[in-house]
Amino acid sequence: MFGIFELTQADPKSLSERALKLSEEAGELAQAVLSVTKAPGSEYKNHSLADVREEAVDAAIVALSVLAHASSSKEEFQAELDRLMGEKCAKWQEKVSG
């Protein structure tokens, strides 16, 4: 089974195309959230929390593909993913801990 790095290498999209795709996926996630939360003008779309989960995963996969595209090897991709997730989660933890 291919992982994110391998799938990214097999896909001919450019870095710019991946970034634009991420914007598209973020928009689809936003639409699903607006629908689920019954935001004015969005109720008719009838999205469910399952749709929110699916769109969140789509956005996460594309975001990881951007990271993979910006990495020179699978090892660099994994190391940067681990490092950056650790750093970013630590910052988040500081904010929620006050």
pLDDT digits (tens, 9 = 90+) for 5-23: 999 999 999 999 999 999 9
43 has a pLDDT exceeding 80: no
Tell me what pLDDT residue 81 has: 97
Mean pLDDT, the chain, integer:
96
Of 25-34, 39-48, 61-70, the one with minimum mean pLDDT is 39-48
What is the H or E stretch that residue 14 is in?
none
Mean pLDDT, residues 54-76 taken together: 98
Rounded CA-CA distance 98/40 in Å is 33
Tell me what pLDDT residue 1 has: 56
Tell me what pLDDT residue 18 has: 98
Tell me what pLDDT residue 97 has: 96
Report CA-CA distances (Å) from 64 to 37, 50, 58, 68, 79. Answer: 27, 21, 10, 6, 13
Tell me what pLDDT residue 96 has: 97
Rounded CA-CA distance 64/5 in Å is 8
91 has a pLDDT exceeding 80: yes
